[in-house]
Amino acid sequence: MMEGSDTLLERSVLVLNASYEPLGLTSVRRGLLLVLAGRVEVLAESDQVWHSASHAFSVPSVVRVTRYVRTSRLRTVGSVSLSGLIARDGSKCAYCQSRDGSTIDHVVPRSRGGQHSWENTVAACERCNSKKAAHLLSEVNMTLHVTPRRPSSSLALALTRVAWDPTWADYLGSPSRDLADLEALAS
């Protein structure tokens, strides 16, 4: 039996290589089985508990394999999607920082030669997206508060899941929030 079983079934466990690089996400059940088999060590635990008939187990949120696993460095991030942008930008509008980043905005508009790429798209609220429209930021006196970048492979793992676990940030990092001058690309 599980405490808070509804949320446990939706949770994932971050699996790190012996070198601390992210390998992927797995289910809580699989994560517990890996711990019990001695194949991983627990680096971070959630506040939830999984109960069996005779034991209670803290639910891991981050585990590290005990033996190095060779991986292909060719993992690439897929094409731009709204859900991916929302995850990358933390559900915030890139312009006003409201928690309503629910549309895709091209920093350099496509009509002005901008590409539909991770480096030129941000999550934006409807109000800011309408205000900016097909203009450059300087033309509408708007400021970009994030640097749109292609997610790293480690962040790409987190983008595949809706439920981000805050304990993962220490191991996955987060996208940089430095200001970028993307309008130079249009000139």
Q: pLDDT tens, 25-68? A: 888 889 999 999 999 999 999 888 888 899 898 999 999 999 99
Q: How far apart are CA 38 and CA 23, in angstroms?
A: 17
Query: What DSSP assignment string belongs to 110-171?
Result: GGGT--SSGGGEEEE-HHHHHHHTTS-GGGTT----S---PPPHHHHHHHT-SS--GGGHHH
Q: What is the mean pLDDT of residues 92-119?
A: 91
What pLDDT shows up at residue 73? 60
CATH class, domain 78-150, is: mainly alpha
Model pLDDT for residues 125-178, shown as the tens digit of each residue: 999 999 999 999 999 999 999 889 887 654 554 554 446 677 877 877 653 333
Residues of the chain with CATH 1.10.30: 78-150
